[in-house]
Amino acid sequence: MTIEVTQDFTAQISFDPSLSLPEEYHFTHDASYEELTKVSEYVKEQYASLLSHYQSPKTNIYGGNYDTLGQQKYHLEFFDQSGDMVEQILNYNFDRTAFYCNDDGALSLLRVFHTDRSQKVGDYPVISAKEAKALLLEGKGMTSAIQYAFPGEEYIAGVELVYRAQNNDRYFIPYYRFYVELPKAQGENGLKCFGAYYVPAIEEQYIADMPLWDGSLNS
């Protein structure tokens, strides 16, 4: 076992050889949501000490995207669901524990994300998702899907409140992330393609040079 800690306080635990799970658990790259839910119950029990710093560990299975081969893929993480709604949102975005499998379906890697939030800039008023949508329609959204023109309001498929925590970000602020269908990017197999569009969730008067995009990929 090897443990490495990066400058952004992410602890990575690697297993060599990787750890096989009992036969009844299907922990592979293409495991279904139901299969991964079963795996989550197993690792939550087996690695309870690793998750002991969470007052109320909550399973987070996310993803569901299809790759070019048509395989659907999910990801398994845990976060602390304790505290009020604000604290839970912060925990969901900044303090997470992720489990990864290898090509053989064995546990090969763990990552414990613990972003440094020791320096707080201040509290700022948050806009509603409706207000953020209006800004997006005005062209004030940020995206890396720059090769496609924004297709229109009717292609907005969903929205969620997130924090972007990139290593090169000077400040961490909340964003509304809109999922927008990109009809011109539809695959030959009929699968739809969606782009992520970000709108800062705090009032525009507090944002300098809005929008400002660094060209990094969707996350």
Highest mean pLDDT among 7-21, 61-75, 184-198: 7-21
- As given in the structure block, the two tokens for residue 210 are 């809005």
Per DSSP, 94 falls in state: H
Region of poorest pLDDT, from 5-19, 95-109, 136-150: 136-150
Q: How confident is residue 211, by pLDDT bands cut at 50, 70 and 90?
A: low
Report the predicted TM-score, pTM, of the whole model to 2 decimal places.
Answer: 0.86
The answer to whether the beta carbons of residues 73 and 55 sit under 8 Å apart is: no
Residue range 10-42, pLDDT digits in tens: 999 999 999 999 999 999 999 999 999 999 999
Q: Is the pLDDT of residue 93 over 60?
A: yes
Residue 80: CB atoms within 10 A of its CB come to 20
Q: To the nearest 5 percent, what fractions of the chain are helix, strand and coil?
A: 20, 35, 45
